[in-house]
Structure 1
Amino acid sequence: MVSSIHVWGDSIGKGVVFDESRGRYAISGQRWATQIEQQLGICVHNHARMGAVIRDGLKELERSTDLTGAVAVIEFGGNDCDLPWAAVAAEPEQEHPAKVPVEIFRQLLGQFIGQVRARGARPLLVTPPPLDAPRYFAWVTRQLNAQAVAAYLGDIQHIYRWQERYAIAVRDVALQLNCELFDLRDAFLAERDVASYLCLDGIHPNERGQSLIARAVLEQDRRYFKAGLEPRLKTRPGIVWDQA
């Protein structure tokens, strides 16, 4: 039986949305974790924070010594892949590495899984949801030289493809280390109008997106979380479990 759910991640794991009426980011009153708690009666310990990269999550994990019986959700990639946009705009002819290069990101994911297992929990990797490239581009360049940033990217959709590499990395590491995977990205891509589930910034799930996340978990894994049954291998989008 699952005793609790612990979440390490970024603002998406935290349930942050952009509140257009107030012009700032805020934690959604109906964030996905709250909906899971209400529906399944399982306590969600949320260690995620806005702006976090996987290194931050590893530091936070050090505070938790015993996670026996828990599911440890590991949700990173959105900030790790981020580029220094001001530097890009200033020097588009130069190369600009991501906050966490993708190969290092893979290595740190492996470390995270190992440390979670050593603490008695079952790690669950989560792929980052897709972003809306035109909307996100407009957001990050709103106070920058958008033409220079566009020249660096080659085409605006490169932002989408760049982020997608981190989702692929999450899937690869899950397969290599026989780790359970929640393919959140695929759950979003299954929707016809993905943009309607995202905030004005083109990257954070909005209130509809929060419900989509919760629904993806509830529809496919209610039996596992609530009854403590052994998970079955799934071939449809959502949480994918290993056969062991």
Structure 2
Amino acid sequence: MPNKICVFGDSVAKGVVFDHVKQKYSLLKNGFADQLANIFSLSVTNYAKFGCTVTKGLELVKKHLDKIPDYDYIVLEFGGNDCDFDWAEVSKAPTAPQRSKTPLHSFIGTYREMIRLIRENGGVPVLLSLPPIDAERYFHWITQGLDSDAILRFLGDEAHIYRWHEMYNMAVYRVANEENVPLIDITSDFLEMCHYQSCFCADGIHPNEKGHAAITKQIVQFVQASPEKALAHSPSAQSLACG
């Protein structure tokens, strides 16, 4: 088993949830990173930040570059914020050209740069795919106080949000494959659920406590299934076997 890992990512990796009682975002005390630390007796350093894009993530990696060799694995989780839009601007001008926070080609290029930088500095990157989103719930969330009809004109249909998000998720798979980086699929099990929406907060995009438990389960199953093959790209892959 590895002893130390670190995580770079956005609010999903950080364990941010929306507290419907207090009507504000808060930090889950038992997010998937915390659960994995307990299950595998790991030291986990979580550099993930709310609202973080892959560009900001690259800046964080550079900031902590001297620490990269200290970790057995560098877990990366990006894409959810990168594919997002400035919905207030969309609401004002739904027919004007609008750019996501990180255009897809920039997302792919920056993610590649991050992976290569980590490797060049002695780190072993592991990518996480993205959890799906609840398009209907997310649409109602982002349109609060805005012109929902205008935003719908921009999208074409509410489900477009899901497809757009999934396009970035597919890019994560592609980057992992082309860069020969282990990828842990945390998407598929959600999609197999009859009502995966129950795993998400009121905003439709942040996994709730049940969602984080599902992510933990998927990562544990990945590690236990065939760690030697799954993480064969790593020189310390044999050490990840459980039990």
User: TM-score scaled by structure 2?
Assistant: 0.91
* Structure 1 residue 16 displacement after superposition: 0.6
SS in 1 for 2:98: coil
Give the 5 Å matches for 1:17-166: 17-64=17-64, 65-68=66-69, 69-166=71-168
Whether the aligned pair in 2 keeps the contact of 1:66 and 1:120 (CA below 8 Å) is: no
2 CA distance for matches of 1:26 and 1:92?
32
Task: State the partner residue of 1:5.
Answer: 5
Q: Distance in 2 between matches of 1:222 and 1:43?
A: 19
Task: Give me the whole-angstrom Cα distance separating, in 2, the residues matched to 1:5 and 1:220.
Answer: 16
Corresponding residue of 1:237:
none
Q: Is the 8 A contact 1:53 1:79 kept in 2?
A: yes
**1:48-69 deviations in whole A, cap 9, x for unaligned?**
0000101111111112214235
Tell me the percent identity: 36
Quote the RMSD (CA, aligned, Å): 1.6
CA distance in structure 2 between the partners assigned to 1:165 and 1:213 by the alignment: 20
Aligned residue type for 1:231:
E
Is the 1:7–1:46 Cα contact (8 Å) retained in structure 2? yes
Choose between structure 1 and 2: higher helix proportion: 2
> What's the offset of the Cα at 1:126?
1.3
Shift of the 243–8 alpha-carbon distance from structure 1 to 2, 3 Å rule, reads: closer
Q: How many residues align?
A: 232
- Per the alignment, residue 238 of structure 1 pairs with none
In structure 1, the residue matched to 2:222 is 220
Letter in structure 1 aligned against 2:68: L
For residue 62 of structure 1, give the secondary structure of its aligned residue in structure 2.
helix
- Kept in 2, the 8 Å contact 1:6–1:73? The answer is yes
Matched position secondary structure for 1:142: coil
CA contact (8 A) 1:66 1:119 kept: no
Shift of 1:46: 0.3
Instruction: Tell me what 2:240 maps to.
Output: none
Q: Unmatched 5+ residue regions in structure 1?
A: 225-229, 234-240
Q: Which amino acid aligns with 1:37?
A: A
Match of 2:18, SS? Answer: strand
Q: Take 2:190 and 2:9, find their aligned partners in 1: how far apart are those partners? A: 18
Q: CA deviation at 1:187?
A: 2.8
Q: TM-score, normalised by structure 1?
A: 0.91
2:188 pairs, out of 176, 186, 189, with 186
